Structure 1
Amino acid sequence: MEGRLQTGINVLDRKLDGGIPPGCIVAYTADPASQSELLLYELTAARGTLYVTTQRSDDAVRHAIDSSMARVGSPTVRHLDSDEPLSEATRLIGALPDGANLIIDPVDVLERTDRHEYVDFLNTLKDRMLETGSLAFLHCLKSDAEPENRPTTTHVADAVFDLRTTVGATELENFLTIPKYRRGGAPSETIKLELSERVEIDTSRDIA
């Protein structure tokens, strides 16, 4: 569809009528013990990307991307280690060029800040995405003790991509759903993914 930005991941672009409208914020929820980062790495191939890491070092993220067997780009990686993460994150996104990707991996550190300040940050982020025609991907790790501001993230986000990983007796399966998509046209079916060397549709068997 005209005017959309390709993610660079063929599986998603086909399902999303060519990509995601510029200016959108995507909350990408996944288990920590999954291959969710592979999808983030492949996003960097589509366009210039600012990859903000809040837990791993910038060197560790660069090494993981460079070592990936998937098609990846050469993102600018910055480690967010400030005592004032919202202020530092705001400073970083302020320098984002037009038509770029922003990845925050994971966003949990920011979600554990004061709610009103976090809401202000999300609104600033949205304004910046619209101003630059960029896309933001917030990696939201699932856990039994999720940050109190997680519902705020998913409410403000224009889209929610949810990755569910199940471990069976003989195989591991990954299912991606898009329960929220403000622009409309989201796939209603679950997408079964193969997350090994790159992101692909798993055609091993039909989804029950």
Structure 2
Amino acid sequence: MSRLATGIDILDRQLDGGIPAGSIVLLTADPASQSELFLYELTTTRGTLWLTTLRSEVAVEDALERCPGPTGNPTIRNVGGDAPLDTANKLVRDLPERANLIIDVVDILERNEGPRYRKFLNVLQTHMVNTRGLTILHGLKGETVPDNRDLTEHMADIVFDLDTNIDGSEIENRLAVPKFRGGRALDETIKLRLAERVSVDTSRDIA
């Protein structure tokens, strides 16, 4: 099975070479985490369309420029207007072969009616399979998780769950991969350091 690199070496090794081509990945994370580093590093791997639903195109461009780690040069489109689901659907249909799609954040699309959102996910899934591309849906955890998040988790081929905890002066980031169609889910979480880029945290675990 063809695999696509995520741009994060440790993750690609853990996943036997990367993500199966044609997959949809849901990355869930706390709003105050550094989860955007995953998105930035993905842009280094291949051509990327970045659909932003909250931040402006200029804000995303500025964040990429200020990122101390490696980044690519994605095409950025703001779909957070009056009809975000319709706009996103049109752009998805034009994705080329083996491209990345980032939807940051998917929460805005999840707040549409269930049948319309489900149809969008089915169209997206079909297009990813046909073009052998890779989609990352960036979803925020917290107190206002959309009702359709369960639908997103079910439809996604792979789920990355980033958990960020603050304990005194320590910030601990752990990544779980509880779901992995076309491969094996990870038995244990990976302790990560999210600074200039995503790397393994080799510091001693907090007792």
* TM-score, length-scaled by structure 2: 0.97
Residue-pair matches, total: 207
Give the corresponding residue for 2:88.
89
Match runs of 1:1-208 below 5 Å: 3-206=2-205
Q: Is the 8 A contact 1:15 1:186 kept in 2?
A: no
| Contact 2:26/2:158 (8 A) holds in 1 | yes
1:71 Cα offset (Å): 1.2
Given the two structures, how large is their TM-score scaled by the length of structure 1? 0.97
Encode CA deviations 1:21-67: one digit per residue, 9 max, x unaligned.
Answer: 11100010000011011111111001110011000000110110111
Mapped to 1, the partners of 2:49 and 2:155 lie a distance apart of 21
Q: CA-to-partner distance for each residue in 1:79-123, whole Å, 9 max, x for gaps?
A: 113311111001111111111100000000000001000000000
Q: Distance in 1 between matches of 2:147 and 2:184?
A: 30
TM-superposed CA distance for 1:143, in Å, is 1.6
Q: CA deviation at 1:195?
A: 0.2
The runs of 4+ residues in structure 1 deviating greater than 3 Å are: none
Which segments of 5 or more consecutive residues in structure 1 lack a partner in the other structure? none
Distance 2:192 2:174 in 1: 6
| Amino acid corresponding to residue 45 of structure 1 in structure 2 | T
CA contact (8 A) 2:80 2:108 kept: no
**Amino acid across the alignment from 2:104:** D
Partner SS for 1:151: helix
Inter-CA distance 89–194: structure 2 relative to 1 (3 Å threshold): same
Identity %: 55
5+ residue gaps in structure 2?
none
> Conserved in 2, the CA contact under 8 Å of 1:192 and 1:207?
no
Q: 1: distance between equivalents of 2:84 and 2:113?
A: 11
CA distance in structure 1 between the partners assigned to 2:88 and 2:134 by the alignment: 15
SS in 1 for 2:3: coil
Deviations 1:122-147 (A, max 9, x none): 00000110111100000010121211
Shift of 1:207: 7.4
